[in-house]
Amino acid sequence: MMYSEKVMEHFTNPRNVGEIEDADGVGEVGNAKCGDIMKMYLKIENNIIVDVKFKTFGCGSAIASSSMATELIKGKSIEEVLKITNKAVAEALDGLPPVKMHCSVLAEEAIKSALKDYSEKSGVEIEELKDFEPKEDHHH
C-alpha cells in the first residue's frame, strides 16, 4: 500500500498532538471495526479556532488525517471550518489509499463533533450541525 510523502510526514511528525485542558469543544469519534479513535479539542474565541489539539489511537492514516485536519482548521472561522470536507483533508495529504479514506471522514467528523459540543456548551447556535451525528457507530 503506497502512502504519499505528506501522509508519512504527518504520521511520523504529527502536529498539534495533545489535549486542551479547558477546551471550548471536545469531539470524540471512533470506528470499532478498524479500532481508530479520534479525539479533537478546540479553543474558540470570537468564532475563530485559536487552538486545536488532537489525540488519535489508530493507524498511520488516521493520525496523519487528524494532524492535517488540525492544520487546516487552525486560525479559521467556524463557517470556514464547516466547509472543510474529508476530501479536502485527503487532498491536503496528496491522497489516501481508498481503503483509508474513512480516516479522513473520521477527521471531518471529529471536528464537527467538537464544534457541536462547543455549540451545546456555549449556547452558540451552529445551524449546519443541528442534525449532525457521526456516521460511524460508537462502542466505548
Q: Which amino acids are annotated catalytic?
A: 34, 103
- Cβ atoms of 126 and 119 closer than 8 Å: yes
Cβ burial, residue 137 (10 Å; 0-12/13-18/19+)? exposed
Using DSSP's 3-state secondary structure scheme, residue 110 falls into helix
d(CA 15, CA 21): 17
